[in-house]
Structure 1
Amino acid sequence: MIREYLRYRKSVLFLILSVLVFFPLVQFLSKLPMDSISYSITIYTFLLLLWLLADGGRFYKRHRKLTEIRANISASNHPFPASGDDLEEKYQEIIEELYRMLEDSRHNLEIDHADRIEYYTMWVHQIKTPIAAIRLALQSGDGNPLIEQELFKIEQYAEMALHFVKLGNLEADLIIGEYMLIEIVKDSVKKYAPLIIQKGLSVSIEGLGRHVVTDSKWLVFIIEQLLSNAIKYTNKGGVRFFWEDGLIIEDSGIGIVAGDIERIFEKGYTGYNGRLDKRASGIGLYMAKKVADALSIRLLISSEVGKGTRARLGFPQPLEMMM
């Protein structure tokens, strides 16, 4: 602190010390009595000490206040300590004006973001109407498996867009409760049944008659992302759901190369399998991991090329969920 003060006042202190040296020297050369010179030095030194104490005290208070502001700095406005001079006051005015500009920009960004969210949400809900109409028309006629399959994918893309929009404020959308796991899994499998049947895959559900603490809607989303990938990359065999220190979703698909495992939850990362499927976006697993983290679910994936992939969902205890 003393070193900082000396650096802050170095010009003034240099001038004061120069006067303290040259003023007595001039008096001495003028052949004034030594008592007068000593008296002048004493008075000057005493006044200098008083000034240093007062000025140093003001510096200490301002320095401490600025240090506190810096330690707790955020985008919010902090009142500055009283300025020491006009120049310092100008600096404070510039900072406060920059803060006001920052607040205006942030407010405009929040409005733009809210408008985009509102538009995307409205669009997703609106697109569901023609999708439902097309599905109804297919059901009333002979139906076309290929069209129904592609329609299902469109529905999933629309749902994905809606969930992606909600991901930005996920905590506000969570409804935590205790749910029967097997019912959630069955609902997900039922939804994907047409694709499972179309590919001739099997599905087994074992030992899931237990309750878990979670948000049922968002847990369904996680399971559907994992099931969708399992179906997409499995050409023979099937998918197993069972309990082993958590919900296990295991497929007999092509597997994931070792170099991709560490990056599969990165946004936009598709890996080797994604390059085989040109439609892969690398968004599904990224969103599943984000949702799992919000629900305190430990989502882990292991795989072996040519043998399949295993996803594990480790559910929190009620006390963990509350923390």
Structure 2
Amino acid sequence: MIVKYIQSKFKSVLLFLLFLGIFCFIAYLYHMPADALIYACLLCIFFAVVFMVYSYCRYCQRVAVLRDVRARIEYGPEELPASASHIEGEYQQMIEKLFQRTSAAISARDRQYSEMMDYYTLWAHQIKTPIAVMRLLLQSERQLPSADALQMELFKIEQYVEMVLQYLWLGEGSSDFLLGEVPVDRVIKESVKKYSTMFIKKHVSLDFRETGMIAISDEKWLAFVIEQLISNSLKYTLPEGKISIYADTALENTLVIEDTGIGIQAEDLPRVFDKGYTGYNGRNDKKSTGIGLYLCRLIVGKLGHELTISSEVGKGTKVKLSMAYKTVRYE
């Protein structure tokens, strides 16, 4: 701190030395006795040192107060130390006005965000009713040539609505995580069953080898991640392709979901988990939102898991979900 203080008083020190030099020069010109000159210079230096020590103590006190204010700045700058000069007072007034404007802007933003969250949460729940009605109507009209295709599209709508809900809950910093021992095979089977119609319609075969894994996780959120990974594999795997789900033999408690799909461009791989990033495949498909893998990354991070992707264009994609025990991150 003393170095910063000296730097702040550097001009004052130079000015003092200049005045002392002028004093010595004038005394020399008028042939002042050396003893008197030395005594006067020492006296000036003594009082200068005393003043500097006092000034440094005041400086330390003000810095301590300002650091305390900075640590609690979100509560307002009302505890700023008394201004030492008119200019400093003007700066403090500017800080207070800026804080007032910032507080007003943050309050307005939070209010708008809260209203938006309430609206979209209500919408996501209300939209489930017409979806359920449409499903019942389609089941009663099985003879329609397009009934199966409509059922598939309705299933996709349900998945997108579910994704919206998950996105909203995570955006609110959801603490809806109930950790426990989760049989991974059970979650996989339920997820595959959910997408069984898509496997059949796309003529994609499934090679599922039971893993026997038990994960310390949240079953609901883990199921969402696995469903998203299976959905992505189905989306980008061509008819007569294959999706394999098995345990990695080299890594502890690591699930592998591998497909023979179109693959991911090498330049897209580092950004596949970025929010809203669709990459080359997503731009060609024109239906990708770039949200699914982003949500997966958020969820596995909160659960203490890890998600990695490797891919080769034209050969397929391999996703590894590591569920080895790690510290769970709460936010």
TM over 0.5: yes
Offset of 1:242 from its aligned partner?
1.4
Amino acid at match of 1:209: G
Equivalent residue of 1:110, what SS? helix
Q: How far apart, in 1, do the equivalents of 2:170 and 2:140 lie?
A: 36
Offset of 1:34 from its aligned partner?
11
Offset of 1:123 from its aligned partner?
0.5
Q: How far apart, in 1, do the equivalents of 2:120 and 2:308 lie?
A: 31
Matches within 5 A, 1:39-188: 48-66=48-66, 75=74, 77=76, 79-142=79-142, 144-188=147-191
Q: Identify if the C-alpha distance between structure 1 residues 305 and 36 changes in structure 2 by more than 3 Å, giving closer, same or farther.
A: closer
Equivalent residue of 1:83, what SS? coil
Offset of 1:204 from its aligned partner?
3.1
Offset of 1:90 from its aligned partner?
3.2
Q: How far apart, in 1, do the equivalents of 2:33 and 2:244 lie?
A: 107
Q: Does 1:219 align with 2:226?
A: no
Amino acid at match of 2:162: E
- What percentage of aligned pairs have identical amino acids? 38
Q: How far apart, in 2, do the equivalents of 1:161 and 1:296 lie?
A: 23
Q: Identify if the C-alpha distance between structure 1 residues 17 and 220 changes in structure 2 by more than 3 Å, giving closer, same or farther.
A: same
Unaligned runs of 5+ in 2: none
Q: How far apart, in 2, do the equivalents of 1:129 and 1:113 lie?
A: 25
Equivalent residue of 1:275, what SS? helix
Question: Is the CA contact 1:236–1:252 (under 8 Å) kept in the aligned structure 2?
Answer: no
Amino acid at match of 2:323: F
Amino acid at match of 1:231: L
**How many residues end up aligned between the 2 structures?**
320
Q: Does 1:288 align with 2:288?
A: no
Equivalent residue of 1:239, what SS? strand
Q: How far apart, in 1, do the equivalents of 2:260 and 2:18 lie?
A: 86
Q: How far apart, in 2, do the equivalents of 1:316 and 1:270 lie?
A: 29
Equivalent residue of 2:124, what SS? helix
Q: Does 1:257 align with 2:265?
A: yes
Match of 2:241 in 1: 237
Amino acid at match of 1:215: D
Offset of 1:68 from its aligned partner?
6.7
Amino acid at match of 2:303: L
Question: Is the CA contact 1:265–1:286 (under 8 Å) kept in the aligned structure 2?
Answer: yes
Question: Is the CA contact 1:182–1:209 (under 8 Å) kept in the aligned structure 2?
Answer: yes
Amino acid at match of 1:298: E
